[in-house]
């Protein structure tokens, strides 16, 4: 139960000093006031200069079991309240992006970032087109009014590298069948099969924040890692950002489990040309070779429908949009009955035609 007072950093235009945001389309920083554009290098000079000067002021305030931190907005000086995991937010008074610098320093300093490449309205459009090709979406679910808040958030991910080795063995069969006279013969050949291979995995992502559903974060994968950039605070302008609250050791077993499953699949799929396979022994090892911390861009869309919240997420890099849509039970019932009746009638029709012929 603590409240820490820190200093916030607003990303400012190097030319006019006004607040400046990252433009995903142009991959540049654009100033809305003086229309200046800046590249990463140009922004780095400004932001790195101010970063070292910042100091944290801590102050404890008791309020339930959550750590609250207060910051002063760099633009208007108003107080901003954020919890411990928020690394970038917006000033409720002037609306400017506020990057809580100290949240992403030291151990929390990300190694990489993939900048947003899609825009807010694309996420909105993706949400609105959810009903296309889906019969059971409730009628007004995809209405604009349902969209509570669309936020572009940099989500903390751990990226694990593994070297893995697997060894499996078992029996497999080939089956031949032929008929002589009225006797059917079946010949089953039994084989001992063994496979062993080594392979590497790079950057298996695991969402490092307990605040986001792991399955949603897994489903919007994969990101194109060719666009990984060395981390710079400047990318966060215009977006929210979170920092991890589960460290790399805590989540390693999740990625390791996935890696081992993949090794097993690879080896099993290599046993080809058999009718049946029965793996009796498997031995799969993996060794962690590297872990990196990266912020990956996600558009989060919160949808309120009939007093329930539904969370949708869009990959901020490639626009892959996912989420579970509620079912319109009336539509499901009507279409199911309709389908049943139509199929029954078709079968009736066909059987009558066959009978007539």
Partner 1 sequence: MKKILYCLLTLLLFFSFNVNASTNTYERTEENNYGVKKETDYHNRLNSIMKTKYVDASEKIYDFSDILTESEEQELKLLIDAYYKKTGFDLVIVTDNVPYTDDKENEEYADDFYDYNDFGLDTKHYDGVILFRNTYEANPYYTMELTGNAQLYYTPKIDDILDTIYDEIKGKQYLNGFKHFISLLDSFYESGIPSEMEGYTLDDKGHLVPPPKEPEEYKVPTILMIISAVIGTSIFTGVNVNKNKMVKHAYEANTFMDQSTVNYTKRTDTFINSVVTHHTISSDSGGSGGGFSSHSGSSGFGHTGGGRHG
- What is the footprint of partner 1 within residues 78-117 (CB under 8 A)? none
Task: Indicate which single residue of 255, 291, 298, 301 sits in contact with partner 1 (rule: CB under 8 A).
Answer: 255
Q: Which of 300, 280, 278, 296 is nearest to 216 (CA)?
A: 300
The piece of 24-32, 74-82, 197-205, 228-236 that touches partner 1 (CB under 8 A) is 197-205
In contact, 11 and 19? CB cutoff 8 Å: yes
Q: Give whichever of 152 and 166 is closer to partner 1, judged by the CB atom.
A: 166
The bridge status of strand 147-180 relative to strand 183-207 is antiparallel
Task: Determine if 65 is a binding residue for partner 1 (CB under 8 A).
Answer: no
Strand 97-99 to strand 37-38: parallel, antiparallel, or no bridges (unpaired)? Answer: unpaired
Q: Within a 10 A sphere around the Cβ of 36, how many other Cβ atoms?
A: 17
Q: How far apart are CA 202 and CA 199, in angstroms?
A: 10
Looking at beta carbons only, is 5 or 128 nearer to partner 1? 128
**290 in contact with partner 1 (CB under 8 A):** no
The nearer residue to partner 1, 137 or 279, going by C-beta atoms, is: 137
Q: Which residue of 59, 327, 330, 334 would you call a contact of partner 1, by CB under 8 A? A: 327
Q: Find the shortest distance in angstroms from Cβ 276 to partner 1.
A: 13
Give the contact letters, 114-143, x = binds to partner 1 (CB under 8 A), - = no. -------------------xxxxx------
Site for partner 1 in 257-276 (CB under 8 A): 257-259, 261-262, 265-266, 270-271
The Cα–Cα gap between 90 and 125 comes to 24
Give, as ranges, the residues between 2 and 61 that touch partner 1 (CB under 8 A): none
Nearest to 301 by CA among 279, 282, 316, 317: 316
Show contacts with partner 1 in window 176-195 (CB under 8 A). Answer: 179, 182-195
Phi and psi, residue 314, nearest 5°: -125, 130
Closest distance of CB 185 from partner 1, Å: 5
Structure tokens at 39: 């590249």
Tell me: does residue 318 bind partner 1 (CB under 8 A): no
* Nearest CB to partner 1, comparing residues 114 and 204: 204
Whole-number minimum distance, CB 157 to partner 1, in Å?
A: 12
Closest CA to 110 of 232, 249, 293: 293
**In whole angstroms, what is the distance from residue 17 CA to residue 19 CA?**
7
264: which 2 tokens? 């097993």
| Measured distance between the N- and C-terminal CA atoms of the chain, rounded to whole angstroms | 83
Site map for partner 1, 212-231, x if CB under 8 A?
Answer: -x-xx-xx-xx---------
What span, in angstroms and rounded, lies between the C-alpha atoms of 330 and 72? 51
Q: How far is the CB of 124 from partner 1 (least distance, A)?
A: 17
Signed CA dihedral, 91, 102, 57, 153: sign only: positive
Of 44, 83, 124, 167, the residue at the interface with partner 1 (CB under 8 A) is: 167
For residues 124 and 142, give the distance between their C-alpha atoms in angstroms, rounded to a whole number: 10
Q: Please, which residue, 330 or 336, has the CB nearer to partner 1?
A: 336
- CA distances to 33, 34, 126, 328 from 145, rounded to whole Å, are 30, 33, 15, 18
Report whether 290 contacts 161 (CB < 8 A): yes
Minimum distance, C-beta of residue 210 to partner 1, in the bound complex (Å): 17
Count of residues that bind partner 1 according to CB under 8 A: 69
Asked if 341 interacts with partner 1 (CB under 8 A), we say: yes
What residues line the site for partner 1 (CB under 8 A)?
Answer: 133-137, 167, 171-172, 179, 182-205, 213, 215-216, 218-219, 221-222, 255, 257-259, 261-262, 265-266, 270-271, 322-327, 332, 335-336, 339-341, 343-344, 347-348, 351-352, 355
């Amino acid at each position: 139960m603590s409240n820490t007072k820190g200093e916030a950093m607003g990303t400012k235009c190097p030319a006019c000093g006004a607040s400046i945001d990252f433009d995903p389309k142009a991959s540049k920083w654009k100033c809305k006031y003086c229309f200046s554009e800046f590249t990463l290098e140009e922004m780095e000079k400004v932001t790195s200069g101010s970063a070292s000067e910042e100091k944290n002021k801590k102050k404890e305030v008791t309020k339930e079991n959550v750590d609250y931190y207060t910051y002063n907005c760099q633009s208007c000086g108003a107080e901003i309240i954020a919890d411990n995991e928020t690394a970038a937010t917006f000033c409720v008074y002037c609306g400017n992006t506020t990057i809580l610098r100290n949240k992403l320093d030291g151990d929390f300093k990300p190694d990489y970032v993939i900048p947003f490449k899609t825009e807010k309205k694309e996420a909105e459009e993706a949400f609105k087109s959810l009903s296309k090709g889906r019969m059971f979406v409730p009628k007004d679910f995809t209405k604009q009014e349902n969209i509570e808040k669309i936020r572009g958030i940099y989500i903390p991910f751990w990226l694990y590298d593994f070297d893995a080795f697997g060894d499996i063995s078992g029996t497999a069969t080939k089956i031949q069948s032929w008929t002589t006279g009225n006797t059917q013969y079946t010949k089953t050949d039994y084989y001992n099969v063994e496979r062993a291979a080594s392979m590497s995995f790079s950057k298996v992502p695991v969402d490092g924040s307990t605040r986001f559903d792991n399955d949603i974060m897994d489903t919007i994968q994969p990101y194109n890692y060719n666009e990984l950039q060395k981390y710079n605070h400047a990318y966060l302008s215009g977006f929210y950002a979170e920092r991890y609250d589960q460290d790399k050791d805590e989540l390693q077993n999740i990625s390791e489990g996935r890696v081992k499953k993949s090794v097993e699949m690879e080896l099993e799929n290599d046993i080809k040309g058999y009718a049946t396979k029965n793996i009796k022994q498997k031995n799969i090892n993996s060794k962690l070779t590297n872990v990196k911390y990266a912020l990956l861009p996600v558009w989060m869309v919160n949808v309120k429908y009939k007093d329930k919240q539904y969370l949708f997420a869009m990959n901020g890099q490639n626009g892959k949009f996912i989420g579970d849509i509620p079912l319109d039970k009336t539509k499901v019932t009507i279409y199911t009955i309709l389908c049943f009746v139509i199929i029954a009638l078709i079968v009736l029709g066909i059987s009558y035609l066959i009978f007539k012929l």
